[in-house]
Structure 1
Amino acid sequence: MQTSRGFDTFQRWRRPIEVGFWIALMTLNVIFNSIDARIDHAGRVALWEPWVWETSSALVMLALLPAVIVAERRWPIRFDTWLRNLPLHILLSVLFSLIHVGGMVALRWLAYAAIAGWHYRFGSWWINFGYEYLKDVRSYFLIIGVLMLYRFWWLRQQGEAKLLAEPEEGPPVEPVERPDRFLVRKLGKEFLVNASEIEWLQAAGNYVNLHVRGRDYPLRSTMAGIEARLDPARFLRVHRGYFINLDYLAEIEPLETGDARLRLRDGTTVPCSRRYRAALRERYGQPVAAE
């Protein structure tokens, strides 16, 4: 899977482009907000004050940006994780706002003292912090949204799989060897993923998607073909379209229908049909009662 020439060039300049994007975005925000604040406070504040307000805010925001990036990577908001991770990000947004407000007030105090010998007054802390938090929570989740869109674009460019990607024409190739590693493609290059790191597998037409640490990698194979390549001591078929790695299984939840819902260590749920549930119980030494 080859990447475009433009994307290859982007990869060489990736870090300067990423840093430059955020600096440019914050600079434009400072310019527009300073002009807007200058108009709103015309005749009531000095010409330089709105620029100090907005510049101090942007500088602290830029300083906090790496921490937000780390938090978004550590607790991503995806379809399968948003319910668990969204409350955590709301709490982090409060901490984000506290540091942002405290930092910008300190910078403004220094700027006012240096420029005019005045003392900057923030006013009533709780009232003004509530106002600032309403702005900061929007900024926090805007940053999260930009990071999510950037990752989506990056994965598409580097050839990451989509869960139900359109299969290529022709029958899949069915090798019968049982490898310790599977060949996957990333960033236009080929890498080997340890079979033991595959958490679960899902059928997708002529593909089987390997799920590894929240990412999907496609193999051109059917479920019957991939079954011969998996270690039966580690992997078990639990549904017509699913295999799981038993090392990552955390919980088995029985359902009234006779099926089960399997929860993996990362919180992902995988269906287990009644047909395969008996084999799962036997694997853990639980005899199956005769019906």
Structure 2
Amino acid sequence: MQTSPPRTALERFQPWRRVFEVGFWIGVSLINAIGNSITTLMDVRRAGLPFASWEPAVWEFSSHALILALMPAVIIFTRRLPLHLDTWRRFLPWYALASVVWSLLHVLGMIGLRKLAYIAMGQSYGFDGWWVFLYEYLKDVRGFIGMVVVIHSYRLLLRRMQGEASLLDAPDEGSAPVESVERPERFLVRKLGREFLVAANDIEWIQASGNYTNLHVRERDYPLRSTIADIETRLDPKRFARVHRSYIVNLDQLAMIEPLDSGDARLHLKDGSTLPCSRRYRTALRERVGAGLRETLVAPAA
């Protein structure tokens, strides 16, 4: 009887991951908004400025409400353009432009919220000309950089906990290669300071995830920094097949192909998992599995 491997700390964390991530940003925003409101009110009182007690709270909470509203866009942006040692020079101009756009949306949005709040209090809110955007940008760019650093650091921590795969290094010039670099038989996985090898033939399927592909091996996913198109060219075509724009499957793991009314298909694997198969790849997959296996792999149409 095959037993499942013990759950890792990361796997135990996964059901709570979304709650933690959302709660983290909400918590940070609330703490900053409350803390800044109190300190701003103290500064106003100390300077004897003619502002009501509720005004600093409106200023701070409107700002942090917009930060929270824009956070999903920052997360998506950093996922599409991840910063690594080999990409930061190419992506840095885009991050600079993104900081300007983010600041502009932040300022316009919080001014709108403040105007609504002041109207509700029977007053009017104005800002001191367009130079305020430059003033706010000098503050916003630091906040934007801080968010990017936190997001990338968090993702790096998750990858280290999960185990990050990489291709084996090419041998030094003049040395005999242990195996083909263009078509590797093994992948190196680094996990929490330890290294181990994963055989290419043990990979059950591969899923695209932004600039990464996740190698699924025995109920574990190991991210590899590679596009799915590139990794497809490196795998044995007799064993692996592209079945979707986001999936590659190990043909030895196929148990059944279930046709769908849409023309697509659902792949059932030997471990009980299912993967999508788009109509673009369905015919080629049936041809790949061979005439001898077709009867057992293809489910009869309903």
In which range does the TM-score fall when normalised by the shorter chain?
0.5 to 0.7
Q: Does the Cα contact within 8 Å between 1:97 and 1:132 map onto a contact in 2?
A: yes
Moved over 6 A (4+): 162-165, 178-187
Alpha-carbon distance in 1 for matches of 2:17, 2:99 = 27
Query: Which of 35, 39, 44 lines up with 1:41 in the alignment?
Result: 44
C-alpha contact (below 8 Å) 1:34/1:50 kept by paired residues? yes
Q: Aligned partners of 2:78, 2:161: CA distance in 1, in Å?
A: 20
Match of 2:123 in 1: 118
Structure 2 residue matching 1:212: 3-state secondary structure? coil
User: 60, 65, 68: which is aligned to 1:62?
Assistant: 68
Q: What's the CA shift for 1:212?
A: 1.9
In structure 1, distance between residues paired with 2:143 and 2:36? 14
Q: Within 5 A, what are the aligned runs for 1:135-154?
A: 135-154=139-158
Q: 2:9 aligns with which of 6, 13, 26?
A: 6
> For 1:129-208, what aligned pairs fall within 5 Å after superposition?
129-161=133-165, 191-193=204-206
Equivalent residue for 1:99? 105
Distance 1:47-1:3 versus aligned 2 partners, 3 A rule: farther
Q: Structure 1 residues 190 and 159 mapped into 2: Cα distance closer, same or farther (>3 Å)?
A: farther
Give the secondary structure class of the aligned counterpart of 1:113: helix
C-alpha displacement of 1:162: 6.6
Q: Which residue of 2 aligns with 1:213?
A: 227
Could you tell me how far apart the structure 1 residues matched to 2:29 and 2:224 are? 39
- Return the offset for 1:161: 3.4
Structure 2 CA distance, aligned partners of 1:198 and 1:128? 40
Residues 1:86 and 2:87 are matched in the alignment:
no
**TM-score normalised per structure 1:** 0.58
The 1:95/1:136 distance shift into structure 2, 3 A limit, reads same
* Change in CA separation of 1:49 and 1:190 when aligned onto 2, cut-off 3 Å: farther
3-state DSSP class of the match of 1:161? strand
Paired residues for 1:11-26 under 5 Å:
11-26=14-29
| Cα-to-partner distance string for 1:165-195 (whole Å, 9 max, x where unaligned) | 9xxxxxxxx899x9999889899x964349x
Match of 1:32 among 35, 45, 56: 35
Which residue type is aligned with residue 83 of structure 1?
Answer: R
Q: Are the structure 2 counterparts of residues 193 and 181 from structure 1 closer, same or farther at C-alpha, using a change threshold of 3 Å? A: farther
Letter in 1 for 2:80: R
SS in 2 for 1:41: helix
Q: Which runs of 5+ in 2 are unaligned?
A: 170-177, 192-201, 214-222, 238-302
**Share of identical aligned residues, percent?**
42
Aligned to 2:263: none
Secondary structure in 2 aligned to 1:79?
coil
Q: RMSD across aligned C-alpha pairs, in angstroms?
A: 4.0
Alignment partners' CA distance in 2, 1:180 and 1:164: 8
Deviation at 1:79, TM superposition (A): 0.6
Compute the TM-score of the two structures, normalised by the length of structure 2.
0.56
SS in 1 for 2:205: strand
Higher relative contact order (CA 8 A, sep 6+): 1
Give the direction of change, closer, same or farther, for the CA distance of 1:184–1:83 in structure 2 (3 Å limit): closer
Secondary structure of the corresponding residue to residue 85 of structure 2? coil
Equivalent position of 2:79 in the other structure:
73
Gaps of 5+ in 1: 166-173, 200-208, 218-226, 232-291
Q: How far, CA to CA, are the matches of 2:6 and 2:156 in structure 1?
A: 15
Matched-pair contact (CA < 8 Å) for 2:212–2:225: yes
